[in-house]
Amino acid sequence: MVMCEQCGKQAATVQVTRVANDGETVSHFCFGCAAQQGLTIEMKGSSLQPQTAQQEIKQDLRECRHCHLKFSDFAVKGWLGCPACYGEFEKEIDAMLLQMHGANSHNGKAYAEHSEGSLGTADIRSLSKELAEAIIQEEFELAALIRDKIRQRSSLPYSDLA
């Protein structure tokens, strides 16, 4: 008989499979300890002894490592947080694309980032990358310095830009 991992006193009746970014873990708890953790437990079995029924719960705790959008939020809302989410939730998105579009492979126009941009924009591109990183890391003073550098290198002033 498998005992509860939390209290060690009661028989474990609830199996919890947790899927996270670094892999899957399986834990076993008794009814009382599972309820304490806030897990949603069905009242199965006899109404006199619901805690004796065996249950399996799956929790998807994955999140995008770049923007920290939870997979469970994406599953409910239908929108992603950043371009990297496509790689982080590749399997599910692939299935979704097949269902939505009847295809999961792009056949349209090609595009390549220009590491040596025309009109001398290589500096601006690399600065833009640095700006984005600084913002995500909430290094706002650094971001302001980079923003000013980008503006110096741009050709036209925009008076109504914030």
Contact flag: residue 65 with another protein (CB under 8 A): no
Residue from the set 48, 56, 91, 111 that interacts with another protein by CB under 8 A:
111
**What contacts 24+ positions apart, CB below 8 Å, involve 33-41?**
33/4, 33/6, 33/7, 36/6, 37/6, 39/14, 41/14
Q: Which is nearer to another protein, 53 or 150 (CB)?
A: 150
Contact flag: residue 136 with another protein (CB under 8 A): yes
- Please report how close the Cβ of residue 112 comes to another protein at its closest, in angstroms: 8
Contact flag: residue 156 with another protein (CB under 8 A): yes
Residue 62 token pair: 């994955």
**Contact of 29 with 57, CB cutoff 8 Å:** no
Number of Cβ atoms within 10 Å of the Cβ of 67: 14
Contact flag: residue 108 with another protein (CB under 8 A): yes
- Please report how close the Cβ of residue 9 comes to another protein at its closest, in angstroms: 44
Contact flag: residue 113 with another protein (CB under 8 A): yes
Q: Which is nearer to another protein, 56 or 141 (CB)?
A: 141
**Contact of 13 with 41, CB cutoff 8 Å:** no
